Structure 1
Amino acid sequence: MNPIKIVENGDHQMPENLSVSRAQRYPTKENAHLEIYGRGGKIYCRLINLSTSGAYLEIVSSNHSPRKGDILRMTVSLKQINKSHILDAEVVWAKGLGVGVRFIKSEEVIEKLRMRVSGMF
């Protein structure tokens, strides 16, 4: 297995093979929390950048860390408009306090969880 090489991406670090994104990323500083399907508790994060296909988050407080392949529900607090936005996502990489996620549709969440329960994942 090849070691993961970490590269700089602006002010943040990410795995080299994920450093180039197809979708334009937009910087942000919104608060968010993650709930991993099949595990208890919340992971409090700061949303660092966002695109139409995914996001980069930094963990602020948690008793456990997300792992590559985890399916999660991400709630983003939009303070300026006093609302929250909920998205489903899959962890594509996690290193230290940094987490990269890919947004997925509800149908994909169900399918991935079904595969995991049946032992195919």
Structure 2
Amino acid sequence: MTAETRDALAYVCAHEERIRADLIDEGAGPEALDLLLAAAREDRCVETALEALHDALLASGDVLGVFGRGIRAVPTPLGVNRTPAGEIVYRCPGELCARTSWPEPGALPRCSVSGGPLRRDRL
């Protein structure tokens, strides 16, 4: 899986509820999102489903889709480390996407794809 695909899937995982609401509000329906989530849950190739979701978002008025917002969409200047070493983060439990979530009070963050808790890790 390419870095671009992992970043796009991370965006979808982190914003699944908003993406679903936007698709429904614009009359597109959530089918493209549901197909992507099913492909990821069943460990099938997600690239085609990501493209379909990207196209559906573009058609509904989202000018960036899923590929224009990836983690690498805003470059980090050379010599700048945005996260301190050794910080605790939560990551995708299946290592399908590049999502990183910071600890917050309350319940552990959950994966939008599998429904399982994100795994604890250190940077």
TM over 0.5: no
| TM interval, short-chain normalised | under 0.3
Structure ranking higher on relative contact order (CA contacts 8 Å, 6+ apart): 2
What is the TM-score with the length of structure 2 in the denominator? Answer: 0.21
Question: In proportion to residue count, which structure has more helix?
Answer: 2
Write 1 or 2 for the structure with the bigger share of strand: 1
State the TM-score, normalized to the length of structure 1. 0.22
The higher radius of gyration belongs to 2
